[in-house]
Structure 1
Amino acid sequence: MTTRWLYLVRHGDASETAGLSPAGRRQAKLLAGRLSGIPFTSITHSPLQRAAETAAILTAPVEPGSVEPGSVQAGLVEPGSVQAGLVQAGLVQAGLVRAGSAEPAPAEPAPAESWDAAGDYIPFVPDPIPPAFTAFFDGYTPEGPESGWAEAALARFARPSPAETHDLIITHAFLVAWFVRDALGAPPARWLGIPVANCGLTVIRYTTGRPPALVQLNDLSHLPPDLHWTGFPPGIAPS
């Protein structure tokens, strides 16, 4: 069997000028520490500034001491458990960490590629449009160059590879939701309603002869609480 490990990341928090905010840069640097041991075969990013800046941070050498208090680098150690979750998910075998060690495995960074199909666009418009989303889709027409991008992204990445690969896509919320929806075999319209956090890590495993496996979804364990986005209104997020 051969396996493709697909790592999906939404860009860091953005400022009003379209680039990363100071919080977004912190998020990206912490995520870079988490991903530093993965031997990426390819790194693909959206051409938009906030994603390109996130990709630049993720592909730069990791700065010493870049892990902040309250974060968990690489998901290696969780409260009450050492590597148990990683071993269960198959991530040690996949090369994220050395077996029996809490140190990332060494990896040479792959060159980063800007790709339009990793950009920020609506992947699918339901027909009919649910009433709750009428305003969201108002004025949008599913025509133009982006009309085939969502399917092109799936065709390129959402399948096993001839050899084991680790592919990273730095993109936007809609495309991460589109991949998750596809991995779960949900109808195309179900990309709606899958929230994606800034610099959250989603991992999908594609193995020959098996259905896709959603290994991680919106994982924020590399970030301290002040950099988390939970989807809950302020003050009621579960701890």
Structure 2
Amino acid sequence: MTAFTKFQKVAVGLGTIGGTWCFMNLFNSDRKVVRNSWTTNYTPLTKWDDNWDHRSPTSLLHPKVIKASDVKSENEMNEALERVTPKVSRHIILIRHGQYNMNGETDNERYLTALGRSQAAYTGKRLQALGFPYTSMVKSTMTRAQETGSIISASLENIPVSNCNLIREGAPIPPEPPVGHWKPEKQQFYQDGARIEAGFREYFYRADASQEKESFTVIVCHANVIRYFVCRALQFPPEAWLRISLNHGSITWITVTPKGRVILRALGDSGHIPADAITY
């Protein structure tokens, strides 16, 4: 067999590359071009909003301070920014309530089942084992969340507990794609959506500059609320919330860093619950 010359090898290589490019170009001719992140012409489909919580250091400075930056020294501007820059992270640990009586017609009748109480106990022990310096617990005012939080509190002693109506279960936003078996009225999305969004703004933000230690807030609420919060925190399309599934008693852990970055450390973790006790 005659060996290829260097020129022939290059020609064959270019021909192969060209043929592949032509094939891929034809194949993708009617498709949206997707560029890899390591190329120089990459543009993200959605850019991260650094001031999503309206607490970025520059946004906290008085406009007169920024306007006078031309006459201020660089050190003075850095000092002004330093005074409003967070130093620590905030951790939000979202807990879905345990299994409850689905046959109940009113909230009071939708109490935890025996299995739901066991799930809550497992979750409380898991949080205790993690050993975080928990700062506070916030519970939805619905019966199943109240009971779940109380059971968890038995494992987390001396942690301040408060109740919140904003994080009650509801319909946050019409899901995409829609589902046929669940179609709340438009006014329910309008009312619940505003309330749940207010709950997001109440608990998701970077630390204040005066906060000296990392905080760990436990929020006991509901699947719809948690799923919406996750999408909002990560700046994903919020209407994607129904594509996420969460087990009863599961743990979702989100960190907001001093720079405002958001890290999803756990999503619906239920590994602490025995397999035969897992429900959703």
Q: TM-score, normalised by structure 1?
A: 0.70
Q: 1:228 to 1:149 in 2, by over 3 A?
A: same
Change (3 A) 1:145 1:183: closer
Report SS of the residue matched to 1:28.
helix
Q: CA deviation at 1:143?
A: 6.5
Corresponding residue of 2:163? 114
1:8 equivalent in alignment to 2:113: no
Between 1 and 2, higher relative CO (CA 8 Å, sep ≥ 6) is seen in 1
CA contact (8 A) 1:46 1:118 kept: yes
What's the counterpart of residue 206 of structure 2?
160
Counterpart Cα distance in 2 of 1:152 and 1:109: 28
**Aligned-pair distance for 1:192?**
1.7
Partner of 2:114: 22
- The 1-side partners of 2:195 and 2:158 are apart by 26
The CA RMSD over aligned residues, in Å, is 2.1
Q: Distance in 2 between matches of 1:150 and 1:138?
A: 15
Do the aligned partners of 1:31 and 1:222 also contact (CA within 8 Å) in 2? yes
**What residue is the counterpart of 1:149 in the other structure?**
195
Alignment deviations for residues 183-225 of structure 1 (CA, whole Å, 9 cap, x no partner): 3221120112111110010100100214200001111121111
Residue in 1 aligned with 2:137? 43
Mapped to 2, the partners of 1:139 and 1:124 lie a distance apart of 11
Aligned residue identity for 1:13: Q
Instruction: Report the structure, 1 or 2, having the larger helix content.
Output: 2
* Unmatched tracts of structure 2, length 5 or more: 1-86, 104-108
Q: Are positions 1:183 and 2:229 aligned together?
A: no
Aligned partner of residue 141 in structure 1, secondary structure: helix
3-state SS, counterpart of residue 196 of structure 1: coil
C-alpha distance in structure 1 between counterparts of 2:215 and 2:127, whole Å: 15
Identity score, percent: 29
Q: Whole-Å Cα distance in 1 between the matches of residues 276 and 200 of structure 2?
A: 33
**CA-CA distance at 1:116 after TM superposition:** 0.7
Q: Which secondary structure state, in structure 2, belongs to the residue aligned with residue 20 of structure 1?
A: coil
Q: CA deviation at 1:148?
A: 2.0
Query: What is the rounded CA distance, in whole Å, between the counterparts of 2:123 and 2:148 in structure 1?
Result: 10
Amino acid at match of 1:39: P
TM-fit CA distance, 1:142:
3.8
Tell which deviates more after alignment, 42-51 or 153-162: 153-162
CA contact (8 A) 2:173 2:189 kept: no
Question: Highest CA radius of gyration, 1 or 2?
Answer: 2
Distance 2:136 2:184 in 1: 36
- Give the whole-Å Cα distance in 1 for the aligned partners of 2:184 and 2:89: 40
Aligned length: 182
Give the distance between the partners of 2:264 and 2:237, measured in 1 at CA. Answer: 16
1:172 aligns with 2:229: no
TM-score, length-scaled by structure 2: 0.60
1:45–1:52: 8 Å Cα contact kept in structure 2?
Answer: yes
The structural deviation recorded for 1:29 is 0.7
